[in-house]
Amino acid sequence: MIFFEVKKKDEKSRARLGLMQTAHGQVHTPAYLPIGTKGSVKSVTAEELKFWGAEMILANTYHLWLRPGDALIHRAGGLHKFIGWDGPIFTDSGGFQVFSLGEKRKEGEHNLVSADPVPVLKEISEAGVEFRNELDGSSHILSPEVSIQIQSNLGSDIALVLDDVPGLPAGKNRIKKSLELTLRWAARAKTHFEKIKDNSINPNQHLFGIVQGGDSEELRQKSARELQKIGFEGYAIGGLAVGENAETMYKVLGFTIPDLEEEKPRHLLGVGYPEQILRAVSLGVDTFDCVLPTRNGRHGQFFINRKSGGYEVIDITKKQFEEDFTPADNTCSCYGCTHHNRAYIRHLFQAKEPLGIRLATMHNLRFYLDFMEKIRRAIEFDSLAELMENYKI
């Protein structure tokens, strides 16, 4: 079975239609992956995601490792069975959560956030990332091998190697040292992956390398070149959407993607807004994950199609919608837009009724999944340039 096949290329850009074949089904690309951080895409069911057109979801290695534990999930038959999702699953390495959350608080600082397992970063070394888990005070080292073992126990369809994630802007020396460490970790991860894959709960799991290098063309090229020597079935592009502006991100994608093999899939981590996704597709990216549909939905923000083209984001909690009896989005056929109006949904948020969050999340996920379908159709019918013009790109 061919893992990934490019079905059609856009005539005026690097965009392409692709088909990914996994042990748990197909993924038509370009695709957006709803984020199920802890094994659940917040406030929606697997059945609903399937109905809206989601083919693959992303789960978080770090959070599932600490709660309920990858060993328990393995005993349950793997993550697919544990969460009731029979489609493909993509898991990250867990490194980004340790780095991004841990950087907010160093050892000795008070945890002012929720009861979620938030790490206190202690040390990054050749061995891996050492941190303290505030759930129970225990210390852990997330190494390249441990990350691969966790993902093997989860049985995801696509696993990622552990990487060091420098935020941008950053000095070239910091980025260079980070890249060198990431490449050494990648080689170790691949070795461990090959060692254990035949005994994995999903022996058909695929391993992606992560391209790092900050905003340096030289370092990004080095990263791509060295990862190809190690040998991976696809690539995630990391170290973007971490503080840089959008134009810097596009510039980095522009000089990174041509150095990756044409026949392998490319995933852009943590991106993004619709116009960012559309621009990245035109540069050759195949899949995306992003918290915006669910996170923004929890705060009452709706992604709305404009009849004139493009989209806007409205905050339905604003007073201006108090007596607005129109659907949140006249162009949408989701449950909230066909059964309720803006005034009612605003009332739900004001009254702190959970249904408000659910309706917003449902709508936003439907918006993103429909948006990706628009992109795939545009590539199929050679009208991507027109779609980009509608979104003022």
Together in a domain, 12 and 143: yes
Catalytically annotated residue among 163, 286, 289, 329: 289
How far is Cα 33 from Cα 92, in angstroms, rounded to an integer? 12
119-125 sheet: strands from edge to edge: 119-125, 128-133, 139-142
Together in a domain, 123 and 12: yes
State how many domains the chain has.
2
Q: What is the pLDDT of residue 71?
A: 98
Together in a domain, 221 and 139: yes
Give the end of a domain, one of 260, 290, 320: 290
Is 92 tagged catalytic?
yes
Together in a domain, 244 and 279: yes
Cis omega before residue 144 (within 30°)? no
Together in a domain, 286 and 309: no
Q: Which residues, 6+ apart, have CB-to-CB distance to 333 below 8 Å?
A: none
Contact 230, 255 (CB under 8 A): no
SS3 236: strand
Contact 128, 162 (CB under 8 A): yes
Q: What is the CATH number of the domain that holds 255?
A: 3.20.20.105
Together in a domain, 275 and 323: no
Catalytically annotated residue among 92, 157, 163, 215: 92
How far is Cα 98 from Cα 8, in angstroms, rounded to an integer? 38
Together in a domain, 238 and 368: no
Give the end of a domain, one of 290, 312, 347: 290
| pTM of the entire predicted model | 0.94
DSSP, residue by residue, 83-106: HT--S-EEE--SHHHHHHHHTT-B
Strands 301-305 and 311-315 come out as antiparallel
Q: Which domain holds residue 332?
A: 297-390
Together in a domain, 321 and 173: no
How far is Cα 225 from Cα 30, in angstroms, rounded to an integer? 24
Together in a domain, 217 and 274: yes
Q: What is the CA radius of gyration of the chain?
A: 21
Give the end of a domain, one of 290, 323, 347: 290
How far is Cα 95 from Cα 165, in angstroms, rounded to an integer? 8
CA distances from 184 to 127, 153, 164, 177 (A): 10, 23, 11, 11
Together in a domain, 84 and 132: yes
Spell out the per-residue pLDDT of the chain, length 393, in tens.
Answer: 899 999 999 999 999 999 999 999 999 999 999 999 999 999 999 999 999 999 999 999 999 999 999 999 999 999 999 999 999 999 999 877 766 655 544 444 433 334 455 677 778 899 998 888 867 888 889 999 999 999 999 999 999 999 998 767 778 898 999 999 999 999 999 999 999 999 999 999 999 999 999 999 999 999 999 999 999 999 999 989 888 899 999 999 999 999 999 999 999 999 999 999 999 999 999 999 999 999 999 999 999 999 888 999 999 999 999 999 999 999 999 999 999 999 999 999 999 999 999 999 999 999 999 999 999 999 999 999 999 999 988
Together in a domain, 224 and 349: no
Q: What is the pLDDT of residue 43?
A: 95
Is 289 tagged catalytic?
yes
Together in a domain, 278 and 301: no
**Among 358, 300, 272, 333, which Cα is nearest to 41's?**
358
How far is Cα 101 from Cα 96, in angstroms, rounded to an integer? 8
CB-count burial class (<10 Å; 0-12, 13-18, 19+) for 218: exposed
